[in-house]
Chains A and B, each alone.
Chain A
């Protein structure tokens, strides 16, 4: 029994060592960002360039915009990189963020079943398209999660004077990808950012049925979490990342990211 106990003890101490192994201690920051930037593969393209230039590792936690801002509010991220301008400005006004910088934009598109039961291909503008969905009560899948995409969708409904509810309106409460997977099965119309759509594989019967209205432009902003609120924030490294992403090098890295030969994000620093 003693012998066996010694074996168990050795096993336990080996495991403890295993657990305590250091995780390559080095300079890193945590960026709370959105599923659209992560799922599209943008970070996989630009971050290695940044890390090679500066030696600062960027750890991205991808969440919906609402959740990402909450992560910043709690001081659990050094930088937030999101897309819901009104919420971002509120974040800065409340003193949680230092300053908002324009970074880039992409655009939203309406995708839906190819046969297009609500006739969105003929819609004059985005608001008319939303109205057509509501009046024909064609199935529509909504994020329903306070993400930047959800906020943009609600603004479109408000402009159309529609209070979306009823059995045709499916609020998934999930990320963009999960919502698209749902829409494929129904099939339903859905508002998505172009980046997630282009890199989305499981498209089923869905295709782009409406695009190009300027109200569908989707600007991304980057904000350093305020070190006066959260003293542990890595303000210096975070600022290096922000400075880089709005610099020529960072903007060129964003512009050079393509999926199937198509550029997904358009540098937007001139808007500052």
Chain B
């Protein structure tokens, strides 16, 4: 049980961190840079927020399968594959939200920042920092999507006991065994964890606001 919870958190939190490392800068570039085809990229990243988890899982499965282009990595049916699939699910949320938040901030403050001599590129860290509360909400939305989904991790992880079984795939398994009581109990545990994590994030936000004004 602790192992299942630990794996769920490890996979989802890692995916969230990777998605942030990639998504925050990409979202910022999308918000501030002007290039041909930008509109199309914006629409695409918004649309991908609706990517069905099982499709994301299937794409990663076909890539990582031994008969696929990345088969030699032997990642299929491992936690690594699950992290990749969930990163794919969270990334569009982080990119889209970062773009939206930074666009608004830039519109509001760009004259001020320019007068201080900041170029668009130099303004990015400042804007990210100013938008941190809104961005945190986006990151939590990404965490929620990843921790709740079962379609992707089931396909690429294989729900192997003691190895790639997460909270959500365990809930699916118990449902299939007709163990509805246990399935609901696991669901409550998952919900409690999500609640605690969100409370911690909210508390940290309040604390930072109080301390930094």
**A→B interface (CB under 8 Å):** 1, 4, 12, 15-16, 18-19, 23, 30, 35, 38-39, 43-44, 59-62, 73-76, 175-178, 180-181, 199-203, 230, 232
**B→A interface (CB under 8 Å):** 10, 13-14, 17, 21, 65-68, 71-72, 74, 76-79, 83, 129, 158-161, 163, 173, 175-181
Q: B177 to A200, Cβ gap below 8 A?
A: yes
Contacts A59-B77, A74-B67, A232-B74 given; indicate if A201 touches B10 (C-beta within 8 A). Answer: no
Q: A74 to B65, Cβ gap below 8 A?
A: yes
Q: B178 to A75, Cβ gap below 8 A?
A: no
Within the complex, the shortest CB–CB distance from B123 to chain A, in Å, comes to 14
Q: B180 to A201, Cβ gap below 8 A?
A: yes
Per the bound structure, the CA–CA distance linking A251 and B103 in Å amounts to 67
Residue in contact with A230 in the complex, picked from B17, B66, B83, B177, CB distance below 8 Å = B66
Q: B14 to A180, Cβ gap below 8 A?
A: no
Within the complex, the shortest CB–CB distance from B127 to chain A, in Å, comes to 13
Residue in contact with A61 in the complex, picked from B83, B158, B173, B177, CB distance below 8 Å = B158
Per the bound structure, the CA–CA distance linking A105 and B14 in Å amounts to 43
Residue in contact with A178 in the complex, picked from B66, B71, B176, CB distance below 8 Å = B176
Per the bound structure, the CA–CA distance linking A204 and B16 in Å amounts to 41
Q: B77 to A61, Cβ gap below 8 A?
A: yes
Per the bound structure, the CA–CA distance linking A200 and B175 in Å amounts to 10
Within the complex, the shortest CB–CB distance from A94 to chain B, in Å, comes to 14
Smallest CB-CB separation from B208: which chain A residue? A4
Q: B159 to A62, Cβ gap below 8 A?
A: yes
Q: B79 to A23, Cβ gap below 8 A?
A: yes
Contacts A15-B14, A30-B77 given; indicate if A35 touches B66 (C-beta within 8 A). Answer: no
CB-CB under 8 A from A203, the residues of chain B are: 178
Per the bound structure, the CA–CA distance linking A43 and B159 in Å amounts to 14
Q: B66 to A202, Cβ gap below 8 A?
A: no
Contacts A15-B13, A61-B158 given; indicate if A76 touches B176 (C-beta within 8 A). Answer: no
CB-CB under 8 A from B65, the residues of chain A are: 74-76
Residue in contact with B17 in the complex, picked from A4, A16, A39, CB distance below 8 Å = A16
Q: B78 to A39, Cβ gap below 8 A?
A: no
Q: A18 to B178, Cβ gap below 8 A?
A: no
10 A-B residue pairs with CB within 8 Å: A16-B17, A19-B14, A35-B176, A39-B176, A75-B65, A76-B66, A181-B178, A201-B181, A203-B178, A232-B74
Apart from A75-B66, A203-B178, list 7 A-B contacts with CB within 8 A. A4-B129, A18-B13, A61-B158, A73-B67, A75-B71, A180-B178, A181-B176
CB-CB under 8 A from B21, the residues of chain A are: 12
Within the complex, the shortest CB–CB distance from B28 to chain A, in Å, comes to 15
Within the complex, the shortest CB–CB distance from B153 to chain A, in Å, comes to 13
Within the complex, the shortest CB–CB distance from B73 to chain A, in Å, comes to 11
Per the bound structure, the CA–CA distance linking A177 and B21 in Å amounts to 40
Q: A177 to B180, Cβ gap below 8 A?
A: no
Per the bound structure, the CA–CA distance linking A60 and B76 in Å amounts to 13
CB-CB under 8 A from B158, the residues of chain A are: 30, 59, 61
Within the complex, the shortest CB–CB distance from B135 to chain A, in Å, comes to 12
Per the bound structure, the CA–CA distance linking A230 and B13 in Å amounts to 34
CB-CB under 8 A from A200, the residues of chain B are: 177-178
Per the bound structure, the CA–CA distance linking A159 and B185 in Å amounts to 44
Instruction: Tell which of B68, B179, B180 has the most Cβ of chain A within 10 Å.
Output: B179
CB-CB under 8 A from A38, the residues of chain B are: 173
CB-CB under 8 A from A177, the residues of chain B are: 175-178
CB-CB under 8 A from A16, the residues of chain B are: 17
Q: A15 to B17, Cβ gap below 8 A?
A: yes
